[in-house]
Amino acid sequence: MSPALFAAAAGKAQQSDPGFWEGLTAGDVATFTGAIATIIVGIVAAFVAVRAYKTQQRETRRQEKAKLYAEAVRAVEDYMEAPYRIMRKDGSAEARREITQHISDVKSRISYYTGLLAIHGTTDVCAAYATFVTAAQREAGQQMTAAWDVKPVKKDKDVPLRTAPLPRAATDAARTSLVTILKADLESK
């Protein structure tokens, strides 16, 4: 193709091509702008939904962990109540079996929560729980042994023990420390 013919063809092409914006109407621009706005709104909505979902899931996990922690503490507190159960025995073989079965069940629950905390808890949580359990075993263990020597309860009026609470200073201190660590762990996530 000769340069003159090429220039003529290019000029003709430029004359017939009105350009991108020249053929658009106001309606076309509004449609295009609306489509872009819809896409942006969709992206923002998706982002908000995902963020809300993640927040909800994080809160659900935190509540489940809080329940785990509370049940773990409860198991040890049930162990601390065992001396009182023993002191209220009626002297029957059935009562002895019931009490020893209860204590066995409580010890099993403590082992269960020790394992769960080893899986789901931090090193600090596990150590604090172990300290709490050890303190409870030392204090309540001795108290249970002494409680078996107490005369059986024969009358309803003797069920309220009317004694000073059994000492549990080490257990209470370990519990306070544990609860502080549990709260910090729950707030950190």
CA gap 80, 142 in Å, rounded: 11
Own/partner long-range contacts of 116-124 (Cβ < 8 Å, ≥24 apart):
116/68, 116/72, 117/68, 117/72, 120/65, 120/68, 121/185, 122/185, 124/181, 124/185
Compute the residue count for the chain. Answer: 189
Residue 51 lies in a domain: no
Residue 19 lies in a domain: no
CA-to-CA separations, 124 to 58, 79, 111, 120, 183, in angstroms, rounded: 21, 22, 18, 12, 12
Residue 45 lies in a domain: no
Residue 124 has pLDDT above 90, yes or no: yes
Residue 58 lies in a domain: no
The 10s digit of each residue's pLDDT in 51-74 is 988 888 888 899 999 999 999 999
H/E element holding 148? none
Residues 6 or more apart whose CB falls under 8 angstroms from that of 186 comprise 62, 65, 66, 69
The 10s digit of each residue's pLDDT in 80-92 is 999 999 999 999 9
Domain count, the chain: 1
pLDDT of residue 48: 86
CA gap 111, 70 in Å, rounded: 15
CA gap 116, 61 in Å, rounded: 14
For the chain, helix (H) and strand (E) counts, in that order, are 5, 0
Residue 165 lies in a domain: yes
Residue 121 lies in a domain: yes
Residue range of the domain that includes 180: 64-187
Q: What single-letter DSSP state applies at residue 168?
A: -
Residue 159 lies in a domain: yes
Residue 29 lies in a domain: no
CA gap 2, 8 in Å, rounded: 10
- pTM, full prediction: 0.74
